[in-house]
Amino acid sequence: MVQWGGKVSAIAACSTCAVALLLGWRCRALGVALRRSHELRQAERQGRTEAEKRLRQLRTSFRGKDDGSVQGCAAQPGPSASEADDVFSSRPIGYMRTCFSRRSGTPRQPHLVPAAKGVLELKAKLPRDILSGLEDYSHCWIIYVFHENTNLGAEWGGKMKGKVQVPRLDGGKVGVLATRSPHRPNAIGLSSAKIESVSDKVLVVSGLDLVDGSPVLDVKPYIPFCDVINSATTPAWVGKDRAADLEPLHISKVVFTERASAKLRYCWENLAKSGHKAHKLRDLYKDYEDLVQLVDQVLGRDIRSVYQRTSEHKTGRDHVYHLHLLENVDVEYVHDKSEVEVIDAHLRISGKNSLAH
C-alpha cells in the first residue's frame, strides 16, 4: 500500500508540474499574443497617422512641372520648402450672386455703392444652421476668389508684375501688396458688407464690390472693437475726402435722359421675363427707383480704366460706354469731362437685345 501511495503521490506531483508548466506556457503565449496585438495596434495607429500626414501633404503641397502637371509630393510646407511648391487647396462654401454682371462696372472697393446687393447661397452639404447668429451682426467680412482674373495661371509663373497701376493715382504704380488690386500672387479678395438678412443658408448683403458668380471661401462677422483701428493711417491718395481736382475718379453729377429713364423702366418691368437668374436678382430690389439709384451710384465715380480715361479717342461724348447690371440690363452712357449722361438701356432676352419703344 505504501508503494502504491508513493506512486500516486509521484503521479500527482508530476501532474501538478505538468499543469503548472502548461499554465506557464499558456501565460507566456497569451503575453506574447497580447504584446503582438499591442504592437499591431501601435503599428496600425502609426500607419494611419502617417497615411493621414501623407494625404495632407498630397492635398496641400504639390511639386508641379513647368506645364502645370503634378509630378510628386513636395517637401513639408514651411520656410525650408522650395518656393512655388506649396499649394493649399480651399473649396468654396457657396457662390455670390450679385447685381454686377461683369468686372467692368464692379466697384473697386466695398460700400462705394450702398445699393449694390448680392445673395450668398451656401452649398447643400453644409449644416443648415451654419449661419445661425450672424443675423445679430450688422456687417460681415466676405473672403472670396477673383475668379475672373485673366492672369490666374501667371501668378507664380514668373510673369507676375510687382507693381500695378492705381486708378486713384491716374496710372501711377504701387507695389501690388500695397493695393487692393485683384491681380495678386493669390487671387483672394476680402470685402466687408452690410447684412440685409439671414435665412437658413442664404445670406443677403449690400454695399458689395463682388462680380456675379464669385466663389466665396468664408464669411466672418465684422466686430468693431477689434476690426476698427482709429489710429490707422493711409497714403494721401487713399483718403476719402480728396479735393475734386486731385481725384481722377471724380464725377460731379450723373444725369438721365428721358429716353434712358423710359428704357430703364421698361427693363425693370420686364426683367423677370429675361431669365431665371435675372428674376432672382430682381427680387433683391423693390422698384424701378431702386434700379435708377443703383445706376446713379455705380456711375457716381469714374469706373473707366486708366487707358479709357486717357485715350484721346475715348474721352469725348462720341464714345458710348456700357454698364451691365442684373444679368441682362445693358446701360449706355457717355462722359463729358466730369459729368456722366445715361442715354439708353436695353434688356437682353435669350442672348438678344430687346429694345423698348
Q: Dump pLDDT digits (tens) for 322-333.
A: 999 999 999 999
Query: Pick from 268, 286, 269, 287: which is nearest to 326 by CA?
Result: 268
Q: What is the pLDDT of residue 40?
A: 74
Confidence tier at 75 by pLDDT (50, 70, 90):
very low
Average pLDDT (344-348) is 95
Q: 189 with 147: CB under 8 angstroms?
A: no
Residue ranges covered by each domain of the chain: 88-149+187-228, 244-357
Mean pLDDT check: name the lowest of 133-137, 179-183, 192-196, 204-208.
179-183
Take residue 301 and report the three cell numbers written for it.
465715380
Per-residue pLDDT, 74: 42
- Strand-pair category, 253-256 with 321-325: unpaired
Q: Which CATH number fits domain 244-357: 3.30.2310, 3.40.50, 3.90.320, 1.10.10?
A: 3.30.2310
Q: How does pLDDT run across 223-244, given as a tens digit for each residue? A: 999 999 999 999 888 877 665 6
Instruction: Output the pLDDT for position 71.
Output: 36
Please give the full DSSP string across 131-151, using - where no structure is assigned. TTTGGG-SEEEEEEE-TT-TT
CA distance 231 to 216: 30
Please give the pLDDT value at position 237.
Answer: 81
Contact between residue 268 and residue 291 where contact means Cβ atoms under 8 Å apart: yes
- Supply the pTM of this predicted model: 0.73
List pLDDT tens digits, range 189-201: 999 999 999 999 9
How confident is the model at residue 236, as a pLDDT? 84
Percent of the chain with pLDDT over 90: 48
Choose the weakest-confidence range: 91-105, 110-124, 155-169, 265-279. Answer: 155-169
pLDDT at residue 59 tops 60: no
pLDDT value of position 69: 36
Q: Which residues of 105-129 are buried (b: 16+ CB within 10 A; e: fewer)?
A: bbbbebbbbebbbbbbbbeeeeeee
CATH architecture for segment(s) 88-149+187-228: Beta Barrel (2.40)
357 confidence band (pLDDT: 50, 70, 90): very low
pLDDT band, very low/low/confident/very high, at 294 (cuts 50, 70, 90): very high
Share of the chain above pLDDT 70, in %: 72
Q: Is the pLDDT of residue 68 over 80?
A: no
Q: How confident is the model at residue 127 (pLDDT cuts 50, 70, 90)?
A: very high
pLDDT greater at residue 168 or residue 10: 168
Residue ranges in the chain assigned as alpha helix (H): 2-60, 224-227, 258-270, 276-282, 288-298, 306-310
